[in-house]
Structure 1
């Protein structure tokens, strides 16, 4: 967390210092919740072992979960994420989205696999994050904010099916740095301006490959990750997750169908290509983790989802000018959002444990 703060604040402008301090405040508050919960677990079991969570008081579970949900950028308690990712320097955004943001997620996945009650709660918040992020991303016009809000949605995909969340985290950890690094080289951050201003074709090709992967297109790791997730969701999640998959295709159609020109004058640094070649190699090579996804039915389903998203983008969303409010991202509301999630979690855990008894 401290290293992330230093990276965010490194430009030392007033804006970067404010965003960095905002991130540090939210992160430390979340970890304070987690620490108090961990102490309560130790008090009940005289051990910090994960197994002790099953014998911990309800308030301990609640505090630990709200700390991890906030740290991971999940649902309403993760609304610090869009501004932080969007306003950081491009390489820092890539690092935060690809690696740092996963720190709060893996403990959630681990605990979800240990407890059926917590598994359901994690899935519920995952679905909520998927919908919240993709809806905001569809109507956003700033390219870095689109990617940041999409990260909020993709985090939900990781939690929606905990047993395969690690694979989805790998896919997201490869594709999102590629997208952030590429968007950082575009001539504008405004998607409307980019629709009227062709940019370098080489950048466009990288943007298309990464966008296809995160949309679930075959032959890229995003295909296997999405199929494995959709195969492991519960019946009540199925419709929502398929609709969200179409929403993701809509979001990234905005990048895929941007105009480009081979002779456009943007210069691309060598360091960009060194990083992107490794990342794209990972997007292709990581298919080896789930070859079983490549069935006729899965391939047709993935292509249908992508086609539906592109069609919806062309007919409806390309000309949309709707702007969604950003009130939930304001600093004074972030701790309030965490408090609401804390109350909601306490009620959910109390209800489920009471029913199980």
Structure 2
């Protein structure tokens, strides 16, 4: 383990420096950025498995405190993996300043994951919001610009409420450190948590997530789903670990988020929105356990980055204008080989099975650890959420297989003669990612018990049956009015109303 404060300071702030230099030397710094992300991923994995813990104070005495621990390393790995996935797979389609913005975002997220004082978290989350605003607007059409400003206004409102809570807590504790929040008033804690939940996209403050995920470009969606919504998870987990009242409240809100969002995803027929509602549900599960919140969010972020990166042009969501929401392998049919589609299909199915917590996947390990650390009463509701999530991903997998079969028929009809044995960088990376998701399942054999495996297989079987039961339902009349209302009213106003409802709940 490295104990040098200088090393961790460089690790935190070097990405932003590289990002700004990349604006001047665009082509030179891009491979450097990819190499840095690989190194950061390896360092984070080592920190996870070796349980490294290190803290340092920026500017020494009286400076800002940071802690690299088991709240930091999992999310740091998820962030570096998501950024690497997006930059590598879409390297030929990136706008001029995309990777530079991504590296400034990396510094902001590193601070958010490692900071132990409320003001540093506030600054990091604000910078995260500005970077996310630019990523959402990357498509540069009217809809994405509208949604990016919605996100900016809604996020600014959430951070304003958070800052008011921080000031209220400071009046009683005379410090901004998280460990001293026990002196703060309940109202101050309510304001702080409400702001963090909005940034994390947790229901009922996460209504902005599905709309933005489904309209952003695929490379932006991969980053937003893989790491941006995880920015508020580490602070919430730290507070829940130190304060029992917050931990108890997170159980109620997490269960609500997990079930309601998963139920809405079942009836959502737009793939992008379904993945967005699934993220709201999965992050609700993450906050149930302070101990495993970050490792669960990491697993979710990795899988969502892969899922958004492998959406195909043959099955674009209806709202994506001019098929802009393509996969990393989008080319004209004559330029796409069968192997490329096989690789995308394999990683899509593997990532979906992992989110479903299917045995021998990373999701099975993290969900088993999570369920072992939550109250008994909450386990029943978590099982219900797992069943609904399984139903969602059974539909997505079946839809993806249909697209793949349709693509094969198109190739055979037009007699394309591409070499299917050719290997490409993107496909090799996707296959390695699938193998890694499966390999992670053997890192903790203690959860590979007969009962856990049977429960997971039972949930999968019931999910298939439930999907077969609801597949013919006409849900457009149910889902569309809600979607149009959110689009018309605007996310900031909805978030403001729901934050007020959260405050009333906490106060009661």
Looking at structure 1, the residues matched to 174 and 298 of structure 2 have their Cα atoms a distance apart, in angstroms, of 35
SS at match of 1:156: helix
Looking at structure 2, the residues matched to 146 and 211 of structure 1 have their Cα atoms a distance apart, in angstroms, of 12
Instruction: Name stretches of at least 5 consecutive residues in structure 1 with no aligned partner.
Output: 191-198, 352-357
| 1:331/1:272 CA distance change after superposition, 3 Å | farther
Shift, 1:270, TM fit: 4.9
Partner of 2:408: 263
Shift, 1:326, TM fit: 2.2
Looking at structure 2, the residues matched to 15 and 30 of structure 1 have their Cα atoms a distance apart, in angstroms, of 22
Q: Equivalences for 1:12-161 in 2 at 5 Å? A: 12-161=140-289
- Count of residue pairs brought into register by the alignment: 343
Looking at structure 2, the residues matched to 263 and 217 of structure 1 have their Cα atoms a distance apart, in angstroms, of 28
Specify which of 293, 298, 313 is matched with residue 467 of structure 2: 313
CA contact (8 A) 1:207 1:255 kept: no
CA contact (8 A) 1:175 1:279 kept: no
What per-residue deviation string (whole Å, max 9, x for no partner) do you get for residues 39-98 of structure 1?
222222221111221111222111101100111111121101111111000011011001
Going by fraction, where is helix more abundant, 1 or 2?
1
Looking at structure 2, the residues matched to 255 and 155 of structure 1 have their Cα atoms a distance apart, in angstroms, of 19
Looking at structure 2, the residues matched to 265 and 29 of structure 1 have their Cα atoms a distance apart, in angstroms, of 49
Looking at structure 1, the residues matched to 133 and 313 of structure 2 have their Cα atoms a distance apart, in angstroms, of 23
| 1:265/1:30 CA distance change after superposition, 3 Å | farther
CA contact (8 A) 1:174 1:282 kept: no
In terms of mean alpha carbon deviation, does 217-226 or 320-329 score higher?
Answer: 320-329
Partner of 2:51: none
CA contact (8 A) 2:151 2:491 kept: no
Partner of 2:384: 243
Looking at structure 2, the residues matched to 284 and 203 of structure 1 have their Cα atoms a distance apart, in angstroms, of 16
CA contact (8 A) 2:147 2:212 kept: yes
In terms of mean alpha carbon deviation, does 234-243 or 259-268 score higher?
Answer: 259-268
Shift, 1:296, TM fit: 1.2
Specify which of 466, 469, 475 is matched with residue 322 of structure 1: 475
Shift, 1:5, TM fit: 0.8
CA contact (8 A) 2:213 2:221 kept: yes
Specify which of 220, 230, 243 is matched with residue 371 of structure 2: 230
Specify which of 394, 402, 406 is matched with residue 253 of structure 1: 394
CA contact (8 A) 2:154 2:495 kept: no
| 1:5/1:205 CA distance change after superposition, 3 Å | same
CA contact (8 A) 1:109 1:165 kept: yes
| 1:250/1:157 CA distance change after superposition, 3 Å | same
CA contact (8 A) 2:343 2:430 kept: no
Looking at structure 2, the residues matched to 189 and 335 of structure 1 have their Cα atoms a distance apart, in angstroms, of 25
Shift, 1:257, TM fit: 2.3
| 1:253/1:165 CA distance change after superposition, 3 Å | same
In terms of mean alpha carbon deviation, does 160-169 or 272-281 score higher?
Answer: 272-281
In terms of mean alpha carbon deviation, does 158-167 or 273-282 score higher?
Answer: 273-282
Shift, 1:4, TM fit: 1.0
Partner of 1:338: 495
Looking at structure 2, the residues matched to 328 and 160 of structure 1 have their Cα atoms a distance apart, in angstroms, of 30
Looking at structure 2, the residues matched to 329 and 105 of structure 1 have their Cα atoms a distance apart, in angstroms, of 25
Looking at structure 2, the residues matched to 107 and 289 of structure 1 have their Cα atoms a distance apart, in angstroms, of 26
Higher relative contact order (CA 8 A, sep 6+): 1
Looking at structure 1, the residues matched to 164 and 359 of structure 2 have their Cα atoms a distance apart, in angstroms, of 45
What per-residue deviation string (whole Å, max 9, x for no partner) do you get for residues 267-302 of structure 1?
999564355345324412332543211111111111
User: What TM-score, normalized to structure 1?
Assistant: 0.88
Larger Rg: 2
In terms of mean alpha carbon deviation, does 144-153 or 274-283 score higher?
Answer: 274-283
Partner of 2:359: 218
| 1:270/1:317 CA distance change after superposition, 3 Å | farther
Looking at structure 2, the residues matched to 11 and 340 of structure 1 have their Cα atoms a distance apart, in angstroms, of 29
